[in-house]
Amino acid sequence: MKYFSRQQTGEGQRIDISLLDSQVAWLANVASNFLISGEKPRRYGNAHPNIVPYQTFRARDDCFALGVGNDLQWKKLCTILGENAWAEDERFATNAARVENRDLLIDLLGNLFSKHDAAHWLSQFEAGGIPSSPINTIDRVFENPQVLSREMKLNVPHPGAGSVPLVGSPIKIPTAPVEFRLSPPLLGEHTVEILKELLGHNQEGVEEFRKLKAI
């Protein structure tokens, strides 16, 4: 890191990070699949190209996400679903086989999940240690107990609106907590400060801008 290099050698370092490089790096397993196989990836939507089942499903009332990351979790899922035979079925017993028979398995699971509400399945998965999650709409996000506990929803005093709801900072530093000192500015609220403190104009210059109706 630049800071540690400076401490150790007395010289800093230039860090070069581009948005393009970041996008390419975010390709992660998709990029690795292509570089190793040379094959262009298919479009899987919310599904995983290498792990099955690992995607969103539709329950009777709502959608949820399910991530069965290995064969042990697959066996646990089969037990939860009351389909123990699937765990031994050569078409589904291993992840490689499930990838090969993706369409068939997803149809079977989709039909099964449609028989109960999402909350039913999610409670079953949580009890069985299967990674899963509801698909939250934005209103559910800001009703989530963890989101509220982490103070990701704030009410900040505002001179014109009384108070305004804002998204909190994700940075949590106990010894130096983030301070929310300013409300969203009114139109032109800081124009004079910017002209004087940042652009070096005096009061006469500010008044001249007003005469020109530039501010």
Q: Are residues 88 and 122 in the same domain?
A: yes
In a domain, 49, yes or no: no
Q: What is the pTM of this model?
A: 0.71
Task: Kindly report the length of the chain.
Answer: 215
In a domain, 13, yes or no: yes
Residue range 113-129, pLDDT digits in tens: 999 999 999 999 999 99
Cis peptide leading into 53, omega within 30 of 0? yes
Q: What is the structure's pLDDT at 184?
A: 86
Q: Are residues 112 and 153 in the same domain?
A: no
Domain total of the chain: 4
Q: Are residues 168 and 191 in the same domain?
A: no
Range of the domain at 158: 144-182
In a domain, 48, yes or no: no
SS3 (DSSP) at 155: strand
In whole angstroms, give the CA distance from residue 22 to residue 5.
Answer: 23
In a domain, 73, yes or no: yes
- pLDDT class for 13, splitting at 50, 70, 90? confident
Cβ pair 39, 33 in contact under 8 A: yes
Count of Cβ atoms closer than 10 Å to residue 209 Cβ? 14
The answer for residues whose C-beta is within 8 angstroms of residue 6's C-beta and 6 or more apart is 12, 13
Q: Are residues 68 and 129 in the same domain?
A: yes
Tokens of 78: 């089969």
Q: Are residues 63 and 22 in the same domain?
A: no
> Which CATH number does the domain housing residue 121 bear?
3.30.1540.10
In a domain, 126, yes or no: yes
Tokens of 77: 């899922």
Q: Are residues 18 and 77 in the same domain?
A: no
* pLDDT, greater one: 158 or 67: 67
Residue range 159-204, pLDDT digits in tens: 888 888 999 999 999 999 888 888 888 888 899 999 999 999 999 9
Query: What stretches of 58-157 show up as alpha helix (H) in DSSP?
Result: 71-81, 84-88, 95-100, 102-113, 118-128, 138-141, 145-149
Query: What stretches of the chain show up as alpha helix (H) in DSSP?
Result: 2-9, 19-25, 28-37, 71-81, 84-88, 95-100, 102-113, 118-128, 138-141, 145-149, 191-193, 203-211
